[in-house]
Amino acid sequence: MNNLLTPEPTLVLAEWTHHIRRSALRQLVAVVAQPGITSLAGGLPDPALFPAAEYAAALSEVIARDPQSLQYRPPLRRLQEHIVDMMAIRGVRCAPEEIFITTGAQQALQVLAQLLLDPGGQVMIEKTIYSGMRQVLTSLNPQLIGVDSDLREGLDIEGAAAALTAGARPAFLYTIPTGHNPLGVTMSAERRRRLVALAGAYGVPLIEDDPYGFLQYDGEPIRPLRALDDAWVLYVGSFSKILAPALRLGWIVAPPVLVEKLTVIKESIDLETSALTQRAVAAYLDTGHLPQQIARLQDTYRLRRDALLGALARHMPADVRWTRPDAGMFVWVELDASADTWLLLDRAVAEKQVAFVPGGAFALHGEDNGARNCLRLSFASSTPEQIEHAVAAIASLL
Ligand SMILES: Cc1ncc(COP(=O)(O)O)c(C=O)c1O
């Protein structure tokens, strides 16, 4: 018989879980998966561009040759050496001991935040930002110091400097200097120099998130922050956008003393990144196919970027502004200040079977925070014809 005086026990969740917000991007995945939807929403690479046959050959060769590739194993030196060579192409000098292999860039962000942030600490971050980083920060609950970004040159260095002068002492500053997600902007060389100087002057580590660094389409390749400074920049790279996301393979470039600590933090999460995947990707890289693969991605995405910019110019009303990305996968569009892109999305899906991501999904604070009239369009996984159709459809609703 129940004791009527004892209340039923209820499940009590950790305090921070009350701050978990619904992920607008995940919800959109369901919308976009509906048949007949033309979507410029997802940040997904085009599956037709995955090097599937070459990777299948590398994977089966590795398993056949070395059953130990299915074992628990330390990080693969050969892969670290390949990453050192890839970083050299971007103008970064580093050693294999500085390459920390992760299960995707997302895990790199998680372990770096855990490494640097004390309870109640501060983080400096752009007000419109990759939602995955916001998710990392939710559980750590830091005080967020939001910095503006301008749509031509990237992070507002003056704003960051003003906050530091006023006494802010962030555990780190997080930024995506090349092919920003969602803004599509690439930080100018001049701002890069000023940012690393600022970081050095105030002793603020910079987390440089660079999954799109190899996807540059115009002009001289721009060098990452890590090429300008090896003391304060912690670089995060990824194979997701140049090979395939399902590999779940990324890396951090960090001083060896930090690599030791990161190893322990990572062990608590997943022990290690798949030894099999590390060997298969190293075997793929051994074949020398990567430069060709990157050139193919650049050529295809450049055409699609141009198709999107052309369609915006043809169809959008005169008061609409957008970024002109020279890297990455995204264009950020600002509509008239009174527009509400959550409502526009509902109409776009219902009336035109077209999808995009409302800007509010990337706002640091709250649901919209200055981005209610904005939207993010991805050009990576749609053909020029689909892009033309989708932009004309969105414009017809304005
Ligand atoms: C800016 C940014 N950082 C990190 C990630 C996560 O990358 P990964 O697939 O390597 O975990 C993404 C994925 O879209 C991203 O856009």
Which is it for the CA torsion 371, 373, 379, 381, positive or negative?
positive
- What separation in Å is there between the alpha carbon of 94 and the centre of ligand 1? 22
Of 220, 223, 225, the C-alpha closest to 206 is: 225
- What separation in Å is there between the alpha carbon of 139 and the centre of ligand 1? 18
- What separation in Å is there between the alpha carbon of 106 and the centre of ligand 1? 6
Q: Inform me whether the pLDDT recorded for 49 exceeds 80.
A: yes
Q: Inform me whether the pLDDT recorded for 24 exceeds 70.
A: no
Return d(Cα 211, Cα 245) in angstroms, integer. Answer: 11
CB 40 within 8 A of CB 378: yes
List, as one string, the DSSP characters of 251-320: EEE--HHHHHHHHHHHHHHHSSS-HHHHHHHHHHHHTT-HHHHHHHHHHHHHHHHHHHHHHHHHHS-TT-
How much is the mean pLDDT over the chain? Answer: 94
- Following CA atoms 208, 212, 214, 219 in sequence, which dihedral angle do they give, to the nearest 10 degrees? -100
Return d(Cα 81, Cα 84) in angstroms, integer. Answer: 5
DSSP SS3 for 375 = strand
Return d(Cα 221, Cα 208) in angstroms, integer. Answer: 16
In this predicted model, which residue has the larger pLDDT, 11 or 208? Answer: 208
pLDDT, tens digit, 9 for 90 and up, residues 330-341: 999 999 999 999
Q: Inform me whether the pLDDT recorded for 156 exceeds 60.
A: yes
DSSP SS3 for 383 = coil
> pLDDT band at 367, cuts 50/70/90?
low
Among 155, 215, 238, name the best residue to mutate to test ligand 1's pocket (greatest count of ligand atoms within 8 A of Cβ). Answer: 238
Could you tell me if the CB of 102 is within 6 A of ligand 1? no
Could you tell me if the CB of 131 is within 6 A of ligand 1? no
Per-residue pLDDT, 369: 67
| Closest atom of ligand 1 to CA, residue 176 | 1
DSSP H/E element including 238: strand 233-238
Share of the chain above pLDDT 90, in %: 86
Mean pLDDT of 305-313: 98
Mean pLDDT of 138-144: 92
| Closest atom of ligand 1 to CA, residue 130 | 1
Least confident of 55-69, 78-92, 213-227, 359-373: 359-373
- What separation in Å is there between the alpha carbon of 237 and the centre of ligand 1? 9
Mean pLDDT of 176-197: 97
List, as one string, the DSSP characters of 97-137: GGEEEESHHHHHHHHHHHHHPPTT-EEEEESB--HHHHHHH
Which is it for the CA torsion 294, 300, 303, 305, positive or negative?
negative
DSSP count for the chain of H helices, then E strands: 13, 15
Q: Inform me whether the pLDDT recorded for 318 exceeds 70.
A: yes
- Following CA atoms 320, 326, 327, 332 in sequence, which dihedral angle do they give, to the nearest 10 degrees? -10
Per-residue pLDDT, 107: 98
C-alpha 71: how far from chain center: 30
- What separation in Å is there between the alpha carbon of 261 and the centre of ligand 1? 22
Per-residue pLDDT, 320: 97
- pTM, two decimals, is 0.95
Diameter of the chain by CA atoms?
78
What's the order of all strands across the beta sheet hosting 374-378? 321-322, 330-334, 374-378, 357-358
- What separation in Å is there between the alpha carbon of 211 and the centre of ligand 1? 6
Mean pLDDT of 83-88: 98
Per-residue pLDDT, 146: 95
